[in-house]
């Protein structure tokens, strides 16, 4: 299948590992150039860049706190300077406050809102003028199933659903789509402090597909939603969760 992504420029946040790295490598295999960032380990980001570059594409890396508007704007300016355009944005960076309502600190709550809602807002706002000018673009945001299952700490992910649909509604006339992916229990390496406590998260022994999902099972959907084949799909939420929750 020809995805039409060869020569496109894809911006991916949180591209050091897991979904971010897998998406970067998958887009590179389709011939897309990359603008990838992290706010943590540049060494891991450069590892991602080196792996992606084996597909003979250009890769630009940068350190960026995606909750900081000035840093986001600088990242987008760098991408536009290096490539002349940004065609696809994958808002992959995430953080979630865990625990019951009374156990969530204000600091953790604010970090969750900043990373899962404010950051996609900043990235989309910064990139949108370029996409409108080119009359082509793809916004792909990450959510999860926790908000559908009533987890207080996942409130920002539900809000990101509304934000994504707003983008879809306002910018479809410019051939710009916006969709959201909600992974269930996926086998990933977790940031220290973000490990899932025993008894929390999605149980995998009593769901229709009784196992954890794989990162690549999300990545293939990301690439499809960015492709020309998905040009009539917008404002949608796709839950990759083995049937743990049905919309």
Structural domain includes residue 114: yes
Q: How many domains does the chain have?
A: 1
Structural domain includes residue 166: yes
The pair of three-digit structure tokens given for residue 26, joined into one six-digit string: 């998958």
Rounded CA-CA distance 75/61 in Å is 9
State pTM to two decimals: 0.92
Structural domain includes residue 59: yes
* Side-chain-facing half-sphere of 143: CA atoms under 13 Å: 30
| Number of C-beta neighbours around residue 67 at 10 A | 20
- Per-residue model confidence (pLDDT) at position 154: 78
The CATH number of the domain holding residue 95 is: 3.40.50.720
Q: Are 88 and 178 in contact (CB under 8 A)?
A: no
> What is the domain extent for residue 145?
9-240
At 37-59, the pLDDT tens digits run 999 899 999 999 999 999 999 99
Structural domain includes residue 130: yes
Of 179, 177, 169, the closest CA to residue 142 belongs to: 179
Of 168, 242, 181, the closest CA to residue 212 belongs to: 242
The pair of three-digit structure tokens given for residue 86, joined into one six-digit string: 């940004």
Rounded CA-CA distance 176/182 in Å is 20
- Per-residue model confidence (pLDDT) at position 198: 46
Burial (0-12, 13-18, 19+ Cβ within 10 Å), 99: middle
* Side-chain-facing half-sphere of 12: CA atoms under 13 Å: 33
Rounded CA-CA distance 159/155 in Å is 6
Residues of the chain below pLDDT 50: 195-200
Structural domain includes residue 2: no
């Amino acid at each position: 299948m020809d995805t039409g992504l060869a020569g496109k420029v894809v911006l991916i946040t949180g591209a050091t590992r897991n979904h971010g790295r897998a998406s970067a490598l998958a887009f590179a295999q389709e011939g897309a150039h990359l603008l990838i960032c992290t706010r943590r380990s540049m060494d891991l980001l450069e590892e991602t860049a080196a792996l992606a570059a084996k597909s003979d594409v250009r890769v630009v890396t940068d350190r960026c706190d995606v909750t900081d508007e000035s840093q986001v704007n600088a990242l987008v300016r760098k991408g536009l300077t290096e490539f002349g355009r940004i065609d696809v944005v994958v808002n992959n960076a995430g953080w979630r406050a865990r625990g019951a309502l009374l156990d969530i600190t204000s600091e953790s709550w604010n970090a969750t809102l900043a990373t899962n809602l404010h950051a996609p807002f900043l990235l989309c706002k910064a990139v949108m003028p370029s996409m409108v000018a080119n009359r082509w673009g793809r916004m792909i945001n990450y959510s999860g199933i926790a908000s559908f299952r009533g987890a207080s700490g996942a409130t920002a992910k539900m809000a990101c659903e509304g934000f994504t649909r707003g983008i879809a509604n306002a910018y479809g006339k410019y051939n710009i789509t916006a969709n959201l992916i909600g992974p269930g229990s996926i086998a990933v390496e977790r940031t220290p402090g973000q490990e899932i406590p025993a008894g929390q998260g999605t149980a995998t022994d009593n769901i229709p597909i009784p196992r954890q999902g794989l990162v690549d099972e999300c990545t293939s959907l990301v690439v499809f939603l960015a492709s020309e084949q998905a040009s009539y799909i917008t404002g949608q939420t796709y839950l990759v969760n083995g049937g743990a929750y049905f919309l």
